[in-house]
Amino acid sequence: MEKRKKARKTAFRIIFLYSTYSLKKTELVKFFYALKGRNKNPGIIQRTGSKFLAKSIVDTSIENKAEFEEFFKFWNVDYETITYQVSEKPSHALFTYSTSHLKKKDLVRFLYALKGRGKSLGLIERTKARFLARSVLLVPASEIKTVEEFFSVWACDYEKKEVMINE
């Protein structure tokens, strides 16, 4: 009897890139309480099972799209979205990395190597990566190894999620 492979259902996900520049300080505090929760009151991230990637990025399932759009509109916060699915044939990789181990002097050098300085191109320009936030990069699949080597040289911990961007 022949074994049949189960068709793997690939779930679509969405990344919300948002900006809180329009909020006053007191509104900003309330916004983050509503987003992340406070004390025993869960925020929208916990209620939806989403993931907070960085100060301005949330990763969630596509089913939560309308709820997050309503949330950001309520708070008058500008946002954009990137829809993707985890894939064995990725178009990109989403890297979340940490530089907490770097001393100030090394962190400055890391940032120059990442973003460039003067006429010297940084990793982002060389690889056509998209800098999403302080510790999050979206990298074309053809450049994944280059970025992994870069993080290895700097001894940075990172998580990589290979994705298919649906643009």
Is 12-84's fold the same as 92-165's?
yes
Low-confidence residues of the chain: pLDDT under 70: 1-10, 166-167
In the prediction, which pLDDT does 42 show? 95
**Where does residue 25 rank: exposed (0-12), middle (13-18), buried (19+ CB within 10 A)?**
exposed
Q: Name which CATH class applies to 12-84.
A: alpha beta
Structure tokens at 32: 């983050």
Structure tokens at 77: 């916060």
In the prediction, which pLDDT does 167 show? 59
Q: How many CB atoms lie within 10 A of CB 160?
A: 17
Residues 6+ apart with CB under 8 A from 113: 122, 123, 150, 154
In the prediction, which pLDDT does 134 show? 87
Residues 6+ apart with CB under 8 A from 165: 82, 83, 84, 91, 92, 138
Tell me the CA end-to-end span of the chain in Å, nearest whole number. 41
Domain map of the chain by residue range? 12-84, 92-165
Structure tokens at 140: 């074309």
Residues 6+ apart with CB under 8 A from 64: 14, 48, 50
User: Is 0.85 topped by the overall pTM?
Assistant: no
> Could you read off the pLDDT of 51-60 as tens digits, one per residue?
999 989 999 9
Q: Name which CATH class applies to 92-165.
A: alpha beta
Assign residue 82 a region: left if phi > 0, alpha if psi is -120 to 50, beta otherwise?
beta
